Amino acid sequence: MTWIPGPPWVRSVTKEQWRTLAAAMLGWLLDAMDVMMYAFALTAIRAEFALSAAEAGGLASVTLLTSAVGGIGFGMLADRIGRARTLVYSILVYSVFTALTATARSIPELILWRSLVGIGLGGEWAAGSVLVAETWPAEHRGKAIGLMQSGWAIGYILAALLASAILPTLGWRALFAVGVLPALLAVWIRRKVAEPEIWRRGAGVERRPLREIVRGPYLRNALAATLLTTCVLFAYWGLFTWVPAYLASPVEQGGAGMSAVRSSGWIIPMQVGAFLGYVLFGVLADRFGRRPVFISFVLGAAVLVPIYGRMALQPVVLMAMGPLIGFFGHGYFSLFGAMLAELFPSSIRGTAQGLCYNLGRGVSALAPFIIGALADRHGIGSALGLTSAFFLAAGGLILLLPETRGEQLT
């Protein structure tokens, strides 16, 4: 066996398991890059199409709404045709339509392309998280999902770097044209990543996952998980859709008054904190349990966000708080790929995860619009503080779900 450096658990994972994780992590990384390019281009798009903050937030909401549809649809497809195969299709969808966003010459065209982008974006997580959860051993599942989720922070940083390099000289259309690159990853996954053994054993068997979820013993957990994801996704999208605009908007609008290039320098440390949050959450959740670690993270986010929104005139404080906002405001997402997989059997797992996560995402589509509307009245910084209430609610809702650390998948 080839020696792999690192702690014993790293050496105990097979090459095939690492390859599966790499596929899902890269898919999620590029998913983040594509979706966050819109957040960085928001100010330029508003200027070109003369949009209010509420209207610009509404465009982001459209993408989130269709991503909910895509997540549910691709989750069902993953139960039917396989996790890896579905992952390939989702990546192709979001990469092609992100590039086509660059061709938009009117608001209806922009809505069309961003709607189609959302379908693929939602499907990537539904397929990729199940693929990793079913491939990795129970004792390391939290770590694997944490590493997969950390791809979001890297993708966010990549979007920030691309935006700072492309927006000032080539404009927002060139930025979106870069979004076609993830299609290359889909080709590699199709050739190198196998379906999980647990799914292959049930392949060919007639499945009725929706009926099992609605009528079976899984309904209570599905409802509780959906409420939980709704709260955290509303908080997340309400906050992080508008953070780049908060940093780049004029002070008189409640922003920090930075340029797009300068604001990227504040966002990158935040995403370094997010990367550490994702990874450390997985390690801690495998050690101490899913529920207590989740509560710690969302409570931390609830305390920090209102303070951050009031620091527009304190750039040094914004820079110092960025990694903490990133750490607590992102890390809790590492819960869902592991815990949702542990709540449902393989025959309905893709559908159940797609439903629970993406019904919540569908409701959270209102968040960018609501925060944008509040920003028009009270300034962006003050509007961001609303998200704290949803972080607090999530901390209570997690108690409705059982502790699943170490659960063997069936």
- In this structure, the dihedral spanned by the alpha carbons of residues 368, 391, 214 and 401, taken in order and rounded to 10 degrees, is 160
Choose among 191, 128, 162: nearest CA to 36.
162
pLDDT at 239: 81
Task: Mark residue 4 as left, alpha or beta (left: phi above 0; alpha: psi -120 to 50; beta: remaining).
Answer: beta
What's the pLDDT tens digit per position in 194-238? 899 888 887 656 667 777 787 778 889 999 999 999 999 988 888
Whole-angstrom distance, CA of residue 247 vs CA of residue 267: 9
* Domain regions of the chain by residue span: 14-400
Taking the C-alpha atoms of residue 103 and residue 100, their distance in angstroms, rounded to an integer, is: 5
Best CA proximity match to 290, nearest among 101, 133, 77, 109: 133
SS3 194: coil
Q: What is the pTM of this model?
A: 0.84
pLDDT digits (tens, 9 = 90+) for 70-124: 999 999 999 989 999 999 999 999 889 988 989 988 888 988 998 998 899 888 8
347 within 8 A of 209, measured Cβ to Cβ? yes
Predicted confidence at residue 341, as pLDDT, reads: 92
- How far apart CA 77 and CA 176 sit, in angstroms, is 28
Architecture (CATH level 2) of domain 14-400 = Up-down Bundle (1.20)
Q: Classify 104 in phi/psi space as left (phi over 0), alpha (psi -120 to 50) or beta.
A: beta
Residues of the chain scoring pLDDT < 50: 1-3
pLDDT of residue 223: 93
**The predicted structure's pLDDT at residue 1:** 39
Distance CA(161)–CA(404), nearest Å, equals 38
Helix axes 366-378, 349-364, angle to 10 degrees: 20
By the 8 A CB rule, do 133 and 338 touch? yes
User: Tokens for 83?
Assistant: 């996790």
